[in-house]
Chain A
Amino acid sequence: MHKIIFAGIVLMVLFTSCTKEIDINLNNASPQIVIEGHITNEAGPYSVKISKTVNFSEPNNYPPVSSASVVISDNTGIVDTLTETSPGLYKTSVLSGIPGRTYSLNVKVEGKNFNAISTLPQVVNLDSLAFELFTSSGNSAENSYLTLPVFTDPDSIGNAYQFIQTVNGKLDKTIFVLNDNTFNGLKNDQLLFNPDAEIKSGDTVSVEFRCIDQSTYAYFYTLSQINDGPFSITPTNPPNNITGSLALGIFTAHTVQKISQVVK
């Protein structure tokens, strides 16, 4: 996280920079399988999406991968074979997301076999949102704020969290993840740091709060470290929990809680 803060400081304070769109001739790569599956503590059905990568220059339409065999089972013996409800989108029918249970995904498609395991963490309650003054100027209407998710981490080490922030209905694309290595059992004091969020008084901020497992944390943490700034890590495909054949994406069991608040 500190690198990002640092990059934020550098870019905001130091530079009068100019940006422009450029053409870069990027190599094409053979399409790769992408698997994304979510199991949550909300009511099902849950879905697994299978698609393929496209080249950078193509539009953001990702070819769905149909006719896959997709099975999710949990550690109590429930086995759910998913049905393809629309091309590339597979849905569960009997499974329910229960905190503490471990879910195993098996996908067979195009002669390849993919496996992934994720455990649905116990629910941690997000109490509320607080807004911390970030930058102020003479005019208080111009003050900008950063969101502080108010919650207390449970005593045991190993909790991890993801936050998806929406400001006035607009998704903040910044990836926010946190683990409890440094604040185990304590109140959170890490802000959702995005200097460009420009949250002002009167705005409505919604946060989707997810308790995630370690592999999901590692996946999104890596993505969060690849950014526009000079202190980005060397870009890489994030390590994921899909084993067997190589695939991109993540299979994640997580809790979901949403809070919406007006900045005062």
Chain B
Amino acid sequence: MNMNTKTIVTSIMLLFSATQIFAQSKYTISGTVSEKKNGETVIGASVYVKDNRSASVITHAYGFYSITLPEGKYQLIFTMVGYQNDTIEISLKANLQLNRPLTEKPKELSEVIIKSKKANDNLLKPQIGVEKLNVASIAKLPVIFGEKDILKTAQLLPGIKSAGEGNSGFFVRGGAADQNLILLDEAPVYNASHLLGFFSTFNSDALKDVTIIKGNSPAQYGGRLSSVMDVKMKDGNNKNFNVTGGIGLISSRVSVESPFAKEKGSFIVSGRRTYADLFLKLSEDNKENSMYFYDLNAKINYRINNKNRIFISGYLGRDVLALGKSFGVEWGNKTATVRWNSVINPKLFSNTSFIYSDYNYKMNFGTSSSETRMNSEIQDFNLKEELQFYLNSKNTLKLGFNSIRHKITPTRISGQNTSAPEKKGRLSLENAVFINNTWQATEKFTLDYGLRLSAYTILGGDTYNIYNNGVLMDSVVLASGKFGKTYLNVEPRIQFNYLLNEVSSIKGGYARNTQHLHLLSNSTSSSPTDQWIGDSYNIKPEISDQFSLGYSRNFRDNSYQTGVEIYYKTMKNQIDYKDGADINTVPDIESELLYGKGRAFGAEFLIKKLQGKLTGWIGYTLSKTERKINGINNNNWYNAKQDRTHDISVVGVYQLTPKWSISGVFVYGTGSAVTYPSGKYEVNGQTTFYYSERNGYRMPAYHRMDIGATYTKKKRNNRESSWNFSLYNVYGRENAYTISFADSETDPTKTVATQTSLFRWVPSVTYNFKF
């Protein structure tokens, strides 16, 4: 190590350990906060000392907390909205382990849609652009087909936009759908949609909560440009055996939870299946068509001792669509996570995870005598270590590493009548080390800063071509076992929170993110057959830099939270297909790609009402997203397909009586940027359209209102049940799904524009039970 490096290392050490030295002896209180009723760990609960604001911590993703105080007597308070405050008097003379169960508040008081740990948590936490949704709290919102869906509810928050009806994916702050890191118990989910986006892969019955970070993520997250959607599964009730479920018009679900070793271990198994295809079979036209999906979540956890706990969770989901005799497609995700939580000492918490994730699709088409198959797959093995070090009452340090081995099988065609050599799967390593410190500098000022170093290495086993404008320039033959090119990226992250007074705060942040896996899509909607591709000798890591600034203010004793955030983001090394790209049969897809950049900026406004009979929020986003790709639109900037100028959502739940609640959702969004013809001509005797600018037009504005009502039966003998009634698209708005241009059917001498819309008035009813 030379002098220079030493200095840097020393400075970093100093930077990350702004420790103060006390003469007085100090001790650490640590433990886990859980729910009294079922033993689920409580994430994001506040633990603080009465009359000492700066001595406060928040339970992390596994419900663990650690707080260090000088010797003495304290009143320690545990709070979480939706739960009764828990106060305990302690006399601190040695390190103390303190596990606390929290009791849920009676129903009427806890009807908040977004639960938060403290009523003014939005002001206190250092992170900017973070939203948290609790699954139990979204149960009363109206939903399409009666299926509550956390991913759909998240799309009602500002800055997070639905990609549209019948469209998988969502867009965060102008990012594309593949720029969201969707994690299910830490395992990346590569395609989070069922039935082309009408349902998400997340069965709400199996989930605990979801955190969405809109770009300014702490250093432990990485790999995607725009957002992190961190979905946590329930651990399983460790007090009682219970069954929950729901019966809907087109799908049903059931979950079983139970302890299996007293207070030590529990499990949950949850399954869901649609049966709309059974109705299809009844109609003559659709007899041979099929369309269904199922998914299965399972999780088991076991507390080895007070300091060590193991979690094993898995997910399996599959969609099947078939048309007639000769065409079929199916796709799905598989994930598995093994995690080991260990309290190494009262100040040091370790989480080690081994993660497997797989997404693939298969398609078959052909004739009665020969069948052609097409498939693609992405498979990950992932090892992650995260240490959380409670240095002192002012500093919490997180550090760790993440090492992923990707295997990506590009779209390949096989069958008897196939001559193309089978495309090889490509291997790569994605490694990262990170360090992040949360520094509560003063009672009012918190700084969260970190660094992530990511390295993506191409592994041998295939030949990599190098292209210049689609022309083959060179080839790199990488033998199996050899290391190819490595891309090394440094990603600094910093964010601050300054509490102006009791009711308002300012936050700001900067983050750089890099992305090494890219979803190639040439269509206006993303489809399950879009393929993933890793960095190569042509494809460089995508890089984004995001600056954001926010102001929050609470009113009426924190019962109203308001906030505004602005952001500016630049994106480098964006990828698109060239015009006329032959995406299916070309021997090397990389010859069909173009590269460019993107930029996005916007303002997000949010007003939430958290208490009282009426709860909900109003969100508004004003934004702009553009791209500039060499070889598209004459190399000029153009509106990205995810550009949406205005986006409004209004969400409300009103508790009418203890048994009845009603709810409503209204959304409005500027139409997506699309390309329409500017003229027409004739080729081969057919009308053909002339296009003069990319995405120069807008689809008609999208708006819709949904209403719902929930009837909850009184709890008897530990049995609970409820009826949920929803009406989707109350006023029957014909929202444009596609707009097409063609010769008129009635008068072939002219051309007409035709709009296709999907759903008007979709009623649904779901019966939910628990015993």
* Chain A residue at smallest Cβ distance from B742: A228
In the bound complex, residues from chain B placing their C-beta under 8 Å from that of A182 are 372, 413, 418-420, 585
Q: Is the CB of B680 within 8 A of A56?
A: yes
Stretch at the interface among B181-189, B603-611, B660-668, B692-700: B692-700
**Residues of chain B contacted by A183 (CB below 8 angstroms):** 417-420
Bound together, the chains give a CA A249 to CA B417 distance in angstroms of 33
Cα distance, A226 to B286, chains bound together (Å): 26
Known: A6-B329, A222-B580, A234-B524. A13 touches B291 (CB 8 A): yes
Interface pair B694/A234, CB less than 8 Å apart: yes
**Residues of A in contact with B (beta carbons under 8 Å apart):** 1-3, 5-6, 8-10, 12-15, 17-24, 26-29, 31-32, 34, 36, 51-56, 59-62, 130, 132-138, 144, 146, 148, 164, 171, 173, 179-191, 193, 195, 218-219, 221-223, 225-239, 248-250
Residues of A with C-beta under 8 A to B742: 228
In the complex, the answer to whether A18 meets B288 with C-beta atoms within 8 Å is no
Cβ contacts B557-584/A at 8 Å (1 or 0 each) = 0000000000000000000010110111
With an 8 A cutoff between CB atoms, is B195 at the interface?
yes
Say yes or no: B327 contacts A8, CB within 8 Å. yes
Residue in B closest to A239 when the chains form the complex, CB atoms:
B580
A173 contacts B686, CB within 8 Å?
yes
* B674 cross-chain contacts in A, Cβ below 8 A: 234
B690 cross-chain contacts in A, Cβ below 8 A: 29, 32, 53, 237, 248
Alpha-carbon separation in the docked complex, A15 to B749 (Å): 30
Given A3-B523, A146-B326, A186-B418 contact (CB < 8 Å): yes
> A148 to B417, alpha carbons, bound, how many Å?
14
CA distance A130 to B367 in the complex (A): 10
A114 to chain B, nearest CB (A): 15
Q: Answer whether A234 and B522 are a contact pair too, CB < 8 Å, given A137-B285, A146-B326, A182-B418.
A: yes
Chain B: CB-nearest residue to A178: B585
Q: CA–CA, A10 to B167, complex, Å? A: 11
Question: Is B755 in contact with A189, judged by CB distance below 8 angstroms?
Answer: no
Whether B419 and A134, one on each chain, are in contact in the complex, defined by CB atoms closer than 8 angstroms, is no
Query: Are A9 and B327 closer than 8 Å at their CB atoms?
Result: yes
| B683 A189 Cβ-Cβ under 8 A | no
Judging by beta carbons under 8 Å apart, are B419 and A250 in contact?
no
Q: Are B367 and A148 in contact (CB under 8 A)?
A: yes
Among B166, B325, B523, B675, residue most surrounded by chain A Cβ atoms (within 10 Å): B523
Are A191's CB and B367's CB within 8 A? yes
- Decide if B419 touches A184 in the complex (CB within 8 Å): yes
Inside 8 A of A12's CB, which chain B residues have their CB?
286, 289, 323
Verify A14–B195 contact, CB threshold 8 A.
yes
15 contacts between A and B (CB under 8 A): A8-B327, A9-B321, A14-B291, A17-B737, A20-B734, A21-B754, A52-B681, A60-B750, A132-B367, A137-B287, A226-B689, A228-B742, A232-B524, A235-B677, A237-B690
| 5 tightest Cβ-Cβ pairs between the two chains A and B | A29-B678, A181-B585, A222-B580, A228-B740, A53-B679
Q: Which of A21, A22, A54, A190 contacts B680 (CB 8 A)?
A: A54
Chain B contacts for A185, CB-based, 8 A: 419
In the complex, A54 Cα to B167 Cα: how many Å? 34
Are A134's CB and B329's CB within 8 A?
Answer: no
Q: How far is the CB of A156 from chain B (nearest CB, A)?
A: 12
Query: Contacting A26 at CB < 8 Å: which of B288, B586, B676?
Result: B676
Residues of B within 8 A of A225 (CB): 522
Interchain CB contact under 8 A, A188 and B417: yes
Whether the Cβ atoms of B751 and A236 lie closer than 8 Å is no
Nearest A-chain residue to B673, judged by Cβ: A234
Chain A residues near B522 (CB, 8 Å)? 225, 233-234
For A61, the chain B residues whose CB sits under 8 A away are 749
Structural contact, A29 and B753, CB atoms closer than 8 A: no
B interface, CB within 8 angstroms of A: 166-167, 195-196, 280, 284-291, 321-327, 329, 363, 365-370, 372, 374, 413, 415-420, 522-525, 527, 529, 577, 579-580, 582-587, 641, 674-692, 694-697, 700, 734, 737-743, 748-758, 760
> A179 with B585: in contact, given A17-B756, A18-B760, A234-B641 (CB under 8 Å)?
yes
Once A2-B529, A54-B679, A223-B688 are accepted as A-B contacts, the answer to whether A13 and B289 lie under 8 Å apart by CB is yes
B675 touches A26 (CB 8 A): no
Chain B residues with CB below 8 A from A249, complex form = 681, 683
Bound-state Cα–Cα, A32 to B678, Å: 11
Q: How many angstroms from the CA of A93 to the CA of B296 in the assembled complex?
A: 71
A18 to B587, CA, bound (A): 39
Kindly state the separation between the CA atoms of A222 and B580 in the bound complex, as whole angstroms. 5
Given A60-B749, A134-B325, A137-B285, CB of A238 within 8 Å of CB of B579: yes
Partner of B679, one of A31, A173, A195: A31
Contact A230 B326 (CB under 8 A): no
**Which chain B positions have C-beta within 8 A of A9?**
289, 321-323, 327, 329
Q: Which residues of A contact B586 (CB under 8 A)?
A: 181
Determine the distance from Cα of A15 to Cα of B289 in the docked complex, in whole angstroms.
Answer: 13
Residues of chain A within 8 A of B370, CB atoms compared: 187, 189
- In the assembled complex, the CB of B685 is this many whole angstroms from the nearest CB of chain A, namely 8
Q: Given A5-B327, A189-B415, are A56 and B751 also a contact pair (CB < 8 Å)?
A: yes
Provide the bound-state CA to CA distance between A248 and B679, in Å: 11
When chains A and B are docked, how far (Å) is the Cα of A135 from the Cα of B694? 38
Task: Please tell me if the beta carbons of B683 and A135 are within 8 angstroms of each other in the complex.
Answer: no
Beyond A3-B529, A186-B419, whether A232 also contacts B523 by CB under 8 A is yes
- Bound-state CA distance A135–B323 (Å) is 8
Given A183-B417, A189-B415, A230-B738, 8 additional A-B pairs, CB 8 A: A5-B363, A6-B329, A18-B760, A26-B676, A60-B743, A144-B324, A184-B420, A236-B580
The answer to whether B683 and A32 touch across the interface, beta carbons within 8 angstroms, is no
Which chain B residues border A133 with CB–CB below 8 Å? 324-326, 368
- List chain B residues, Cβ under 8 A from A186: 417-419
Asked if B321 contacts A132 (CB within 8 A), the reply is no
Given known A56-B741, A236-B580, contact A24–B753 (CB-CB < 8 A): yes
A59 to B682, CA, bound (A): 12
CA gap between A69 and B760 in the complex, in Å: 57
How distant is the Cα of A107 from the Cα of B584 in the complex, in angstroms? 35
Task: Name the contact of A19 in the complex, choosing from B326, B677, B685, B756 (C-beta under 8 A).
Answer: B756
User: A187 to B417, Cβ gap below 8 A?
Assistant: yes
- Least Cβ–Cβ distance between B70 and chain A, in angstroms: 63
Q: Which of B323, B366, B585, B700 contacts A189 (CB 8 A)?
A: B366
Closest to A230 in B: B525
| Choice from A17, A26, A136 contacting B678 with Cβ under 8 Å | A26
Contact of B579 among A14, A34, A222 (CB under 8 A): A222
**Which residue in chain A gives the minimum CB-CB distance to B744?**
A21
User: How far apart sit A144 and B325, CA to CA, in the bound complex (Å)?
Assistant: 11
B321 surroundings in chain A (CB, below 8 A): 9-10, 13
- When C-beta atoms are compared, the residue in chain B nearest to A29 turns out to be B678
Q: Nearest chain B CB to A102's CB is how many angstroms away?
A: 21
Partner of A236, one of B291, B327, B675: B675
Identity of the chain B residue whose Cβ is nearest the Cβ of A139 in the assembled complex: B284
B475, chain A: closest CB distance, angstroms: 18
A232 / chain B contacts, CB cutoff of 8 Å: 523-524, 738
CA distance A60 to B677 in the complex (A): 14
| A73 CB, min distance to chain B CBs, angstroms | 23
How far does the alpha carbon of A27 sit from the alpha carbon of B679 in the complex, in Å? 8
A151–B370 Cα distance when bound, in Å, is: 14
Inter-chain CA distance A54–B734, complex, in Å, is 30
Say yes or no: A234 contacts B682, CB within 8 Å.
Answer: no
Residues of A within 8 A of B696 (CB): 27
What separation, in Å, do the CA atoms of A132 and B366 have in the docked complex? 9
- CA separation between A51 and B677, bound complex, in Å? 18
* A34–B681 touching, CB < 8 Å: yes
Chain B residue at smallest Cβ distance from A231: B523
B737 to A181, Cβ gap below 8 A? no
